[in-house]
């Protein structure tokens, strides 16, 4: 039986705004709520900002929460080029500039975590605290790369509610959280004509010849100086807790927190714990 999760119920009554902003020529969809220090939330491969619908209310009580569709994703523009990690990072910095930010905290899930880490390592002047939320396959396992690539392409090129649901269910420990509403939103995005070409650019970093230039490695990960929280789960389909501990050793000044009873989307399956850990870490209570 599906969980009774409704995106609008999660957001009803929350003072928020959804809008588009020009980021270096890229029309970018943004949702934000709250005031104070900026906290940018970044979704994963093939995702969209609704991935954080269950977190906006709680986090906006403490921060100016900004979530957006990465370039090539969701309802943002989809240029005809590979969406590599440096390109996605440049888009993030461009978004911060367009919104008039001087510095921001950042929390990224899966691909978003990869982008967050890359940004912290290569653009440290922009980044406050960093949360890497199930950043995904840091040891470059070929089977995981192939699964992400094939399931994402199939969900777009053979678009059906069944294929979209299958793609989403792989991310969850408790698959009853994959509601019809969530499937319908992603199906609506995946059936937009421009997605037919964009999906191959979205999964380009699952090909080793491209991925090798950005693969998780202590040579660049070790440059992260921002206080960093690695947020993992006990049922992440892309990587084990042992891999999280490896990343923990690579990143100076990092901490590791494991959320139990969740898969690749702890922000959706365990929103209360996810939110509280964010507040505590950014406020320095976990130092």
Q: Could you list the active site residues?
A: 264
DSSP state string for 148-208: HHHHHHHHHHT--HHHHHHHHHTT-SSGGG--HHHHHHHHHHHTSTTHHHHHHHHTGGGSH
**Residue the block writes with tokens 């049922």:** 235
Quote the CA–CA distance of 79 and 140 in Å, as a whole number: 26
Type and span of the H or E element at 131: strand 127-133
Enter the DSSP assignment of 43: -
Q: Which is nearest to 60 in space by CA: 286, 278, 285?
A: 278
Tell how far CA 178 is from the center of its chain.
Answer: 17
């Amino acid at each position: 039986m599906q969980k009774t999760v409704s995106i609008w119920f999660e957001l009803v009554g929350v003072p928020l705004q959804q809008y588009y902003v020009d980021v270096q020529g890229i029309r970018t969809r943004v949702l934000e709520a709250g005031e104070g220090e900026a906290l940018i939330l970044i979704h994963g491969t093939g995702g969209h900002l609704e991935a954080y619908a269950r977190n906006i209310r709680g986090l906006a009580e403490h921060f100016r929460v900004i979530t957006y569709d990465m370039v090539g994703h969701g309802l943002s523009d989809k240029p005809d080029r590979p969406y590599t990690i440096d390109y996605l990072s440049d888009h993030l910095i461009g978004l911060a500039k367009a919104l008039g930010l001087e510095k921001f905290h950042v929390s990224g899930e899966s691909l978003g975590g990869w982008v967050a880490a890359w940004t912290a390592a290569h653009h440290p002047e922009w980044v406050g605290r960093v949360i890497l939320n199930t950043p995904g396959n840091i040891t470059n396992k070929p089977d995981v790369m192939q699964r992400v690539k094939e399931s994402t392409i199939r969900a777009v090129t053979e678009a059906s509610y069944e294929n979209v649901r299958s793609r989403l269910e792989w991310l969850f420990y408790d698959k009853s959280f994959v509601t019809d509403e969530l499937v319908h939103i992603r199906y609506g995005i995946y059936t937009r004509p421009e997605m037919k070409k964009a999906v191959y650019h979205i999964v380009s970093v699952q090909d080793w010849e491209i991925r090798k230039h950005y693969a998780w490695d202590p040579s660049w990960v070790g440059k992260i100086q921002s206080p960093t929280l690695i947020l993992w789960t006990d049922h992440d389909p892309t990587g084990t807790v042992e891999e999280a501990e490896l990343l923990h050793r690579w990143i100076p000044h990092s901490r590791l927190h494991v959320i139990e009873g969740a898969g690749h989307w702890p922000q959706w399956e365990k929103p209360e714990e996810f939110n509280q850990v964010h507040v505590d870490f950014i406020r320095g209570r976990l130092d």
